[in-house]
Amino acid sequence: MVDPQAERANLSKTPAPVGPTNSDSASSAVSDDKQIPSYLTDHYWWAYVHPNAVWVFERQWLIDAILWGNYHRLRDAALNALGATLPGRTLQIASAYGDFTPSLAERATAGGGEIDVIDVLPIQLENLQRKLTADAPVRMATMDSAALQFNDASFDRVVLFFLLHEMPEDWRRRTLAEALRVVRPGGRVVIIEYAQPRRWNPMRYLFAPILAKLEPFALDLWRHDIREFLPSDAKIEGFATRRYFGGLYQLVSFERRD
């Protein structure tokens, strides 16, 4: 794991997978809470950091309930935006509860490709490993999304599945900048996120106070277009947005331009 202000170490090194042979060292990498981003320990300890978080939230029915029955629809929308098969290299920035990554791995296998998944919390990567088959073409590494240890243009595509709404603005901006840096020209970035519901959608009024309490940065995605968080000199094309569930969720995709 790397502090976002620290110098990137050995960018050409391929991160080691998290597994039985290195899980102890991965766990020790975050034994000091100061190495975990403060927004996680301050606001999301109950969902990701606490040892019991995985036991509570890694239940497919619960994840679907949290997303008001839309998990599978949003998962499939993201997968289809990435492609029916996934040759080359795919980067998933941050692990996710549910079967998103196993489904992603199936498409990578069909395309002869590989997936890298990074997360700042080893406990989340260890949970992910338990969901994957032994032959899944997935590598995992403990890494901060705001300071990725990959070379420029290393990936054919990047996906962020319900990550940005959990981040304060500075982390969100750096994460998107890193996503653009590591995707190759012509490569695609796919994002699934919250968005402001339509005026007729009761979720616009009923869900806002829940998000404000439990997800203190999520309403940023209601108030601002995701393009506002991209670097001012970002070279992108093909920007597209699709809304779901009366506008509460959005799929955003774009390509890095040369």
| 3-state SS, one letter per residue, for the chain | CCCCCCCCCCCCCCCCCCCCCCHHHHHHCCCCHHHCCHHHHHHCHHHHHCCCHHHHHCCHHHHHHHCCCCHHHHHHHHHHHHCCCCCCEEEEECCCCCCHHHHHHHHHHHHCCEEEEEECCHHHHHHHHHHCCCCCCEEEEECCCCCCCCCCCCEEEEEEECCHHHCCHHHHHHHHHHHHHHEEEEEEEEEEEECCCCCCCCHHHHCHHHHHHHCCCCCHHHHCCHHHHCCCCCCEEEEEEEEECCCCEEEEEEEECC
Q: How far apart are CA 113 and CA 88, in angstroms?
A: 5
In the predicted model, what is the mean pLDDT of the chain? Answer: 89
Residue 5 pLDDT greater than 90, yes or no: no
Which CATH number among 3.40.640.10, 1.10.10.10, 3.40.50.150, 3.10.310.30 corresponds to the domain 59-256? 3.40.50.150
* pLDDT tens-place string over residues 222-237: 999 999 999 999 999 9
Residue 20 pLDDT greater than 80, yes or no: no
Which token pair is 5? 């202000």
**pTM more than 0.95:** no
Residue 249 pLDDT greater than 50, yes or no: yes
Q: How confident is the model at residue 35 (pLDDT cuts 50, 70, 90)?
A: confident
Lowest-pLDDT range of 18-22, 137-141, 247-251: 18-22
